[in-house]
Structure 1
Amino acid sequence: MRDRIGPILLATIAVSLFGLSWAVGMRSTESDIPPDRERVVFWHFWGGKYRHVVQDVVQRFNDSQTEFWVEEIAVPGQNLDMKFFMALAGGDFPD
């Protein structure tokens, strides 16, 4: 069993890094944010048929005020803790 821990840990880290890089790649650029708004990054795990609900709420919030710009990022449900800690260590974590 001990000789299998290394490959399992390596696979877990690789999958987590792939998921994190995918999520970061889905982010909007600074030019997508309206001027004079503070960007707020919102990670969530809702996907599939429920993702449009979150997108609608975020869009309505963004349209309702001019101080903040919420950017929603769907993060797959596997290894959320690992992804958060990796983002925290890299200095690019959600709000």
Structure 2
Amino acid sequence: MRAEVIGAETLAVHRWRGEQHRLLIANFGPSLGIDAADPALARMPRGGAELLLSTAAHRYGGQGGRPGMKGRGAARQLEIPARAAVLFAWDTPAEPTAID
């Protein structure tokens, strides 16, 4: 397991076993974009991420913002809604780079 601080109000926790990866991002501040090259994302498998949970969803009392990758190339960012926790999963073998 590895935990990293991203800025002043965000925490990323990466847990893995073999080819299975989970990434929890807890954002305690305003919405933000995390660069795909950020160390918290750089070791994640490329592509195939499944969103398991977002507390930004209406069913959890959130505003309905949906996390996900935005932009292209060097400008790619993982968008995380304000004051939300999101959980992503990868369950298949993939080459280690940023989230797609």
Q: Tell me, yes or no, whether TM beats 0.5.
A: no
- Normalised TM-score (structure 1): 0.24
Name the structure with the higher strand share: 2
